[in-house]
Amino acid sequence: MVPERYDCQNGIVNFQRADINSFKFRRSKVVIFAGGLKDKSLWKRLLAKRTPRQIWVFTTDESPLTTMDYIPPKQYNIGRNIFNVTYTYHSKSDISVPYGRYQPYATFNDDEIDVDYHKLHHKFAMWMSSHCDTISWDRTKFVKDLAEYMPIDRFGKCGNMTAKM
């Protein structure tokens, strides 16, 4: 939870929310943008208050198709990049934080080929999503269609179940 303080090799790192009108914003060495800013007048005020050596970091877990409104309007990008660092799932980001990874088995047991996992487990798959209307492809329809052939527990706004805690 913000504010937080961390000791590291090169000193102390403080994380805190900084209102654009506060002294903290101008004093901040790094500003992290997590989430969309669609207000053009806010971008104009942010750029006016940015100090020359301030580092701006863009971070998101979403695809570029759903984050087009998260970046400044094009009139503010003329001749310079607004963000110094990108921090996303993409492998070409300055800081890449992928969702997961694939790691093949070191060895493979031939006896596993004959196992019917569907008979061993009454639940085959689970899907969690609350972003139902996507731009690039209709994953919600895909999961509903797939559920006709195999059991899938669907959680979140796009699903038909709720998690019991």
| Residue 31, amino acid | V
48 band by pLDDT with thresholds 50, 70 and 90: confident
10 Å Cβ neighbour count for 129?
15
Amino acid 126: pLDDT: 83
90 band by pLDDT with thresholds 50, 70 and 90: confident
The percentage of residues in the chain with a pLDDT greater than 70, rounded to a whole number, is: 64
Residue 86: strand, helix, or coil: strand
Amino acid 109: pLDDT: 66
Q: Are 44 and 50 in contact (CB under 8 A)?
A: no
Short-list 125, 152, 33, CA closest to 84: 33
Would you list the domain boundaries of the chain?
4-96, 118-164
DSSP 107: S
Q: Residue 1: pLDDT above 70?
A: no
23 band by pLDDT with thresholds 50, 70 and 90: confident
165 band by pLDDT with thresholds 50, 70 and 90: very low
